[in-house]
Chains A and B, each alone.
Chain A
Amino acid sequence: MTTIALTINGEARELAVEPYRSLLDVLRNEAGLTGTKKGCDVGDCGACTVLVDGKPVNSCLMLGVEADGSEVLTIEGLQPAPNRLHPLQEAFIRLGGAQCGFCTPGMIMMAAALLAENPSPSEEEIRFGIAGNICRCTGYTKIVEAIQAAGKELA
Chain B
Amino acid sequence: MTTLDERLGAVRASGRRALVPYLMAGARPDWTRLLEAAVAGGADALEVGLPFSDPMMDGPVIQEAALAALAAGTTLDSVCAELGALDLGVPLVAMTYCNVVYHYGLERAAGRLREAGVLGTILPDLALEELDEWAAVCDAGDLATVLMVAPSTPPERVARVAARSRGFVYAAARMAVTGAAVGLGDGAAVVERIRAASPVPAYVGIGIASPEQARAAAAVADGAIVGSALVRRVLDGASPEQVESFVRGLREAIDAP
- Tell me if chain B binds chain A: no
